[in-house]
Amino acid sequence: MLHIQNLHAAIDGKEILKGINLHVKPGEIHAIMGPNGSGKSTLSSVLAGREIFEVTQGEISFMGKNLLDLAPEERACEGIFMAFQYPVEIPGVSMTNFMKAAIEAKHKYQGTEPPSPTEFLKKMKEKRAMVGLPDKLTGRSVNEGFSGGEKKKNEIFQMAMLEPTLAILDETDSGLDIDALRIVADGVNQLKTPNNAYIVITHYQRLLDYIVPDVVHILFDGKIIKTGDKSLALELEEKGYDWITKS
């Protein structure tokens, strides 16, 4: 589904990603771990199409298409979803209008009929309940006045609404309390099908108890320096990063 070959990316001439290779198949869950500043969020942003990052080398194909040819909104409509590490507040734009615009954009792109207002509101309600996002928040502006945890839940809510093929969760677990973590993880597991895939970025093994990865990668200084199964996360929790980076 996703093939990343020798990906290099820079910002303001400073190279951040230094040759990433990553292959994700439908139905898989990949976890990416790595120290602060190693390039995890940069990788997610590059996948989602953030233009401030310049791809200097390498290729990314997604569902047979050259991802680097597509604008960010086209990538989203093709089924890529990135849950932001730091969700952005959008004053004056209500959650409902924002979600409506996103759903309509997707249907327009795919040439399908958007849901009727009643269907749309029904779906909003359903998905909100699924991720435990309080009712009152949908009347507000996007992320404005949301608590840290509510913002993270809101990302998963949007994911549930948009039903992506590939979801990249950038530290969605940080800021969530223990109950919220379980609710969010349950949501992710419910949305999981044999046809979609997840890349889960996290610092903590705890999340991976709920969302069990097939593959775990360690990103360090812009490169994947180790790949293993879920036991790699446990090992990391125990020993820290030193044992891999120093060897």
Partner 1 sequence: MTHTIEQYIAECGDHVLHAFSALPRPSKKLEDWKFFTHTEWFESKWNISTVYEVTPDFIHSQLQGIDYDSLVVFHNGEFLMQYSKISDFLKISNQEYKPIFESKSLTQLDIVHTANAKHGVNIRIANTEQSNHIVLLSVVSGSHTLCTASHTIHVEADTQCTITEIIVSEANATESLMLSGTQLICNAGSVCEYTSIQKLHKTSSIVQNIAVMQLQETTATVHAYPLSGAYNRTNMSAYKQGTQAHTNVYGILFPCTDEHIELYTNIYHNVPECETNEQIKGLGKDNGQGVFSGLIYVAKDAQKTRAAQSNKNILLSPTAKIHSKPQLEIYADDVSCNHGSTTGQINREALWYMQARGIDLHKATELLLEGFINDVLETMSNEQVQAYILSHIDTKIAEI
Ligand X SMILES: Nc1ncnc2c1ncn2[C@@H]1O[C@H](COP(=O)(O)OP(=O)(O)OP(=O)(O)O)[C@@H](O)[C@H]1O
- Specify the residue, 82 or 232, whose C-beta has the smaller distance to partner 1: 82
Angle (CA) 206-210-212 rounded to 5° is 100
Q: Which stretch binds partner 1 (CB under 8 A): 77-85, 146-154, 183-191, 193-201?
A: 77-85
**How many angstroms separate the first and last alpha carbons of the chain?**
32
Q: Closest separation between CB of residue 148 and partner 1, Å?
A: 16
Pair type for strands 80-83 and 141-142: unpaired
- Specify the residue, 12 or 242, whose C-beta has the smaller distance to ligand X: 12
Distance CA 73, CA 105 (A): 9
Q: Closest separation between CB of residue 77 and ligand X, Å?
A: 25
Alpha-carbon torsion 109, 110, 113, 119, what sign? negative
Task: Write the burial class of residue 96 (CB in 10 Å: 0-12 exposed, 13-18 middle, 19+ buried).
Answer: middle
List the one residue out of 179, 182, 217, 183 whose CA is nearest residue 198: 217
Q: Which stretch binds Mg ion (CB under 5 A): 12-20, 32-40, 48-56, 173-181?
A: 32-40
Tell me the number of residues near partner 1 by CB under 8 A.
28
One residue of 22, 24, 42, 185 binding ligand X per CB under 6 A:
42
- 42 binds Mg ion per the rule CB under 5 A: no
Site string for ligand X, 53-92 (x = CB under 6 A): --------------------------------x-------
Q: Which of residues 80-109 bind Mg ion (CB under 5 A)?
A: 85
- Separation of CA 204 from chain center: 16
Task: Write the burial class of residue 186 (CB in 10 Å: 0-12 exposed, 13-18 middle, 19+ buried).
Answer: middle
Q: Which stretch binds partner 1 (CB under 8 A): 13-21, 96-104, 116-124, 186-194?
A: 96-104
Tokens standing for residue 226: 């180790």
Residue 60 · residue 38 · CB < 8 Å: no
One residue of 58, 72, 114, 115 binding partner 1 per CB under 8 A:
72
- 37 binds ligand X per the rule CB under 6 A: yes
Which residues contact partner 1 by CB under 8 A?
48-50, 71-73, 76-77, 82, 84, 87-93, 97-98, 101-102, 105-106, 109, 141-142, 158, 162
Residues near ligand X (CB under 6 A): 11-12, 16, 34, 36-42, 52, 85
